């Protein structure tokens, strides 16, 4: 996906790096707030295991991730693009779409081309800000939970307003990577028999190979 290989090329060999050479950053940002207890516990156990195995882990303030979250919530880019691609189908068959999804897609009709260009420019600024900070930290990856909660019960989404709230909470952390145009991988970090929790490693655009190597070392250490 990062465009470094041709479709016909064989998969590269990416050996795990030594954990003692890895530098990880836990961002002091909204992605670490409002976590389910199970998510918080699984994350903390993972951090302790990685630190005990020799990884360098530190916490750094990263308000740019909060800007990503604000952008995702208030000025999403994808809604306009979805409307452009699906306009005819939505206009003709909106009643056949899932109501929650159809209404979100149709909201793109209210966004002008000028406004969309403003959003693209704002996103470019966010990407540049993230890349600058990530490079200055000299870290291999950011480390935070993939999702703030364990999978919600179906009953929690029966009401439309509740469904929207749950949906946004589930998407919050992974959406940050979309908005700083990075790469990410999620590894299971929960003990067997407990609710699934993902540990997310994220890096800058194009760092996919290194991220895979770091993830392989983390996965081996966690042993889940």
What does the pLDDT look like over 54-89, one tens digit per residue?
999 999 999 999 999 999 999 999 999 999 999 999
Q: Which CATH class is domain 19-222?
A: alpha beta
Nearest CA to 49 among 22, 28, 31, 15?
Answer: 22
With a pLDDT cut of 90, the percent of the chain lying above it is: 75
Angle at which helix 160-179 crosses helix 99-106, to 10 degrees, equals 50
Beta-ladder partners of 144? 200
Helix, coil or strand: residue 217: helix
Question: What is the average pLDDT value for the chain, to the nearest integer?
Answer: 92
pLDDT of residue 170: 94
Q: Where are the domains of the chain?
A: 19-222
89: left (phi over 0), alpha (psi -120 to 50) or beta: alpha
Read off the pLDDT of residues 25-57 as tens digits, 9 standing for 90 and up: 999 999 999 999 999 999 999 999 999 999 999
| Phi, psi of 33, rounded to the nearest 5 degrees | -105, 160
Helix, coil or strand: residue 61: strand
pLDDT of residue 1: 67
Nearest CA to 155 among 144, 165, 163, 147?
Answer: 163
Q: Is the pLDDT of residue 207 over 70?
A: yes
């Amino acid at each position: 996906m990062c465009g470094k290989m041709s479709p016909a090329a064989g998969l590269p060999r990416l050996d795990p790096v030594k954990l003692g050479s890895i530098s990880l950053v836990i961002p002091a940002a909204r992605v670490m707030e409002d976590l389910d207890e199970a998510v918080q516990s699984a994350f903390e156990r993972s951090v302790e295991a990685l630190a005990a195995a020799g990884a360098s882990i530190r916490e750094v303030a990263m308000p740019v991730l909060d800007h990503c979250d604000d952008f995702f919530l208030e000025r999403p880019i994808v809604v306009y693009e979805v409307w452009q691609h699906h306009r005819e189908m939505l206009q003709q068959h909106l009643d056949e779409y899932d109501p929650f999804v159809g209404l979100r897609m149709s909201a793109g009709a209210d966004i002008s081309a000028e406004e969309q260009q403003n959003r693209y420019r704002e996103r470019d600024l966010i990407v540049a800000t993230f890349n600058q900070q990530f490079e200055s930290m000299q870290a291999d990856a950011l480390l935070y939970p993939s999702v703030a909660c364990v999978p919600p019960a179906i009953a929690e989404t029966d009401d439309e307003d509740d469904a929207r709230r749950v949906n946004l909470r589930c998407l919050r952390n992974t959406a940050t990577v979309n908005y700083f145009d990075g790469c990410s991988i999620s590894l299971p970090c929960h003990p067997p028999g407990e609710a699934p929790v993902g540990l997310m490693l994220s890096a800058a655009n194009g760092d996919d190979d290194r991220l895979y190597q770091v993830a392989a070392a983390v996965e081996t250490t966690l042993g889940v």
